[in-house]
Structure 1
Amino acid sequence: MSSTNEVEDAVAQLWQEHAGAPFPAGLAGAERAGIDLVLLDADIAGCVSSRQNSGGFLDAGRRRILDARTAELERILPLLGAADGAPYWQRLYRLARLVADAGE
């Protein structure tokens, strides 16, 4: 089992990587399985950003959003290929899961 510090370090690193990465080219306005990819990214990033800016706290509303959007991302990950910037989405998923699991 990972220590709290290891989890926080991993979240901080993934968040820094994600925040510095460009959104995958050509996906603005794209949907997969009816899910708008820009909104999916923005919702998860917003929840992570709020958590990071509040010292690790995620309020109930953002927690519900994070859980719902993480489930959607998990559902569409198998549909995302190299042209969709799959590593971008895989990193976002790892980040979302770490944040969600840290709050349990």
Structure 2
Amino acid sequence: MLAEKPDALAQMMAEHMARPFPPGFRGLDIEGRDMVMLDSDAYAYAACVHEDLLSEQAHARLTRLTSAFGKVLPAIDDEYAAKYYTHLHNMVVLSAEIESQRKKQSPPGGQQTR
């Protein structure tokens, strides 16, 4: 099952890159989060997870990023932006799932990056 998830993550990343950024969301803060940075951080962590295992610090930041979406998503009142950021949230959740499964499977003292 883990073998299928990186492929699904790669597909979600490609879909995200094909979508235009929501109009009016550049420079916008929602619930204390800059929406451009939320987008950027979500994609960056997904790309890191797609490539290899995250460090403990990066894993903790990924977990915090996942919860940030829980605050931001209900506050988005634009239909396109809500879909755009929901897709990003799903991508981050999948990234966290992949990372958690890898951590369970890696040997103690296994190499971690980033």
> Given the alignment, which residue of 54, 64, 70 partners 1:68?
64
Alignment correspondent of 2:14: 16
TM-score normalised per structure 2: 0.78
Aligned residues: 100
CA contact (8 A) 1:11 1:99 kept: yes
User: Which amino acid counterpart does residue 50 of structure 1 have in structure 2?
Assistant: C
CA contact (8 A) 1:44 1:96 kept: yes
Distance 1:5 1:99 in 2: 13
TM-score normalised per structure 1: 0.84
Alignment correspondent of 1:102: 98
| Equivalent position SS for 1:103 | helix
> Given the alignment, which residue of 73, 84, 107 partners 1:77?
73
In structure 2, stretches of 5+ residues that fail to align are: 101-114
CA drift at 1:83: 4.9
CA drift at 1:96: 0.2
Please, what is the CA RMSD of the aligned residues? 1.6
CA contact (8 A) 1:11 1:98 kept: yes
User: Which amino acid counterpart does residue 27 of structure 1 have in structure 2?
Assistant: F
Alignment correspondent of 1:5: 3
In structure 1, stretches of 5+ residues that fail to align are: none
